[in-house]
């Protein structure tokens, strides 16, 4: 064996399997473990914490992010602004329909994709006028010049919670279950325009995972950025920035569920 990684991998695998066995009866924790064990879920850990580049998480946001990853308590149990009970682990906030961070996270991810496409030589626009999906809502974004085979690229970003009841069992069997289902659902919503545009669903997991289609298109965009700029780290930087925006949105959601009168008093 010629590298430290090769020596460490067998031991890490034994420890990982041991931890999985201990969590067999705890579905939510097992789903969390399966998701955070994927390489892309930890991209934010490698990002340079620079305010200039937008990669710096505040102390409070970092605490929430680490707690979610480890399955540790981050707030006190309280009544969410939606009226339901939010547990101390912050999980309720990740899929609450009134979550304060959903729109913030969605905008940030779309802006990041748009800027990356522009850097790759494909100027784009968000929510283009006159282009709607089957339910009447505008698409998230579209390139202003053809992306592939003479067709413009249309994309839709979404973030899912693999620990929620509807995805938990599937996520234990397959860590990409939730994001794959979300991407398939988006494809059905865009069937009416997929013959005219190159539609690409971009699904993320709230724990930092990337869906199959998301990983493929991000790799393609990164390749084009590398061809334009000559920077071999373009893929690494883009993955890190997307990961940071997911974690920041999660933290805003958790803190936004707190009663306004309590401010940060419930934060541990």
Tell which residue, 207, 203, 204, 163, has the closest CA to residue 45.
Answer: 207
At 10 the pLDDT is 83
At 260 the pLDDT is 61
At 122 the pLDDT is 96
What integer is the mean pLDDT of 67-82?
87
pLDDT score of 263 more than 60: no
At 185 the pLDDT is 93
Domain ranges of the chain: 4-49+103-256
- pTM for this prediction: 0.87
**Confidence band for 2, pLDDT divided at 50, 70 and 90:** low
Which of 42-56, 89-103, 136-150, 225-239 is least confident? 89-103
Query: How many degrees, rounded to 5, is the angle at CA 36 between CA 30 and CA 40?
Result: 150
What integer is the mean pLDDT of 185-206?
91
pLDDT score of 3 more than 80: no
- Whether residue 37 contacts residue 69, with contact meaning beta carbons closer than 8 Å, is answered with no
Which of 87-91, 124-128, 165-169, 216-220 is least confident? 165-169
pLDDT score of 60 more than 50: yes
Please give the DSSP secondary-structure letter assigned to residue 240.
H
SS3 88: coil
- Mean confidence (pLDDT) of the chain: 87
H/E stretch holding 159: strand 153-160
Distance separating the N- and C-terminal Cα atoms of the chain = 45
**Confidence band for 265, pLDDT divided at 50, 70 and 90:** very low
pLDDT score of 144 more than 90: yes
Highest mean pLDDT (candidates 60-69, 134-143, 258-267): 60-69
CA distances from 255 to 90, 123, 164, 234 (A): 9, 35, 19, 32
More confident residue, 267 or 16: 16
Q: What is the CA radius of gyration of the chain?
A: 19
């Amino acid at each position: 064996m010629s590298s430290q990684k090769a020596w460490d991998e067998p031991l890490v695998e034994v420890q990982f399997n041991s931890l999985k066995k201990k969590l067999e009866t705890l579905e939510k924790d097992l789903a969390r473990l399966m998701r955070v064990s994927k390489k892309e879920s930890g991209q934010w850990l490698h990002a340079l914490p620079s305010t200039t580049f937008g990669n710096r998480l505040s102390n409070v946001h970092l605490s929430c992010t680490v707690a979610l990853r480890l399955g540790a308590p981050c707030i006190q149990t309280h009544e969410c602004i939606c009226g339901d009970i939010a547990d101390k682990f912050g999980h309720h906030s990740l899929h609450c329909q009134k979550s304060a961070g959903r729109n913030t996270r969605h905008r940030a991810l779309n802006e990041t994709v748009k800027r990356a496409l522009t850097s790759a030589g494909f100027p784009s626009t968000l929510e283009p006028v006159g282009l709607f999906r089957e339910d009447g809502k505008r698409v998230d974004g579209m390139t202003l010049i053809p992306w592939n085979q003479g067709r413009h690229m249309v994309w839709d970003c979404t973030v899912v919670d693999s620990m929620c009841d509807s995805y938990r069992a599937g996520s234990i069997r397959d860590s990409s279950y939730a994001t794959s289902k979300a991407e398939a659902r988006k494809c059905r919503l865009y069937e009416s325009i997929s013959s005219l545009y190159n539609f690409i669903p971009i699904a993320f997991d709230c724990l930092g995972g990337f869906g199959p289609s998301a990983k493929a298109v991000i790799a393609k965009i990164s390749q084009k950025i590398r061809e334009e700029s000559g920077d071999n780290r373009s893929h690494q930087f883009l993955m890190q920035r997307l990961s940071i925006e997911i974690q920041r949105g999660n933290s805003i959601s958790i803190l936004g569920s707190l009663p306004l009168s309590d401010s940060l008093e419930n934060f541990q």
